[in-house]
Amino acid sequence: MFYEMRTYTIQIGKMKEYLQHFEAEGLPVISRYTRLVGWWYTEIGELNQVVHIWAYESLDDRIKKRAALYEDQDWLTRFVPKAFPMLIKQESKLLMPAAFSPIL
């Protein structure tokens, strides 16, 4: 199992709007392609960030599912046009669980 941790920095003052939009429009679409492991937003440290982790069976599985997401018309027309302008930056990391990790 592979995990992708995505960190987005949201424009100041847009966090509530981004969270509501993702829950209503983004999550239903992306959930067609992958499983959400967890979703957080920052309160201390670097602010205005959301951090989420998605599970994939393999790197090939991730490539295939992300490609399908990027062709999904609901994603492209209902989520992206409103969400992307609220973003300042994005970081994505591929995480491999250690043998002793409780999440395998």
**Contact present, 87 and 10 (Cβ < 8 Å):** yes
23-32 residue pLDDT tens: 999 999 999 9
What residues contact 37, with CB distance under 8 A and at least 6 apart? 3, 52, 53, 54, 55, 103
Model pLDDT, residue 3? 96
How far apart are alpha carbons 60 and 31 in whole angstroms?
18
- For the chain, the domains span 2-95
CATH 3.30.70.100 corresponds to the domain 2-95:
yes
**Contact present, 4 and 94 (Cβ < 8 Å):** yes
- Over its length of 104 residues, how does the chain's per-residue pLDDT go in tens digits? 899 999 999 999 999 999 999 999 999 999 999 999 999 999 999 999 999 999 999 999 999 999 999 999 999 999 999 999 999 999 999 998 899 999 86
36-54 residue pLDDT tens: 999 999 999 999 999 999 9
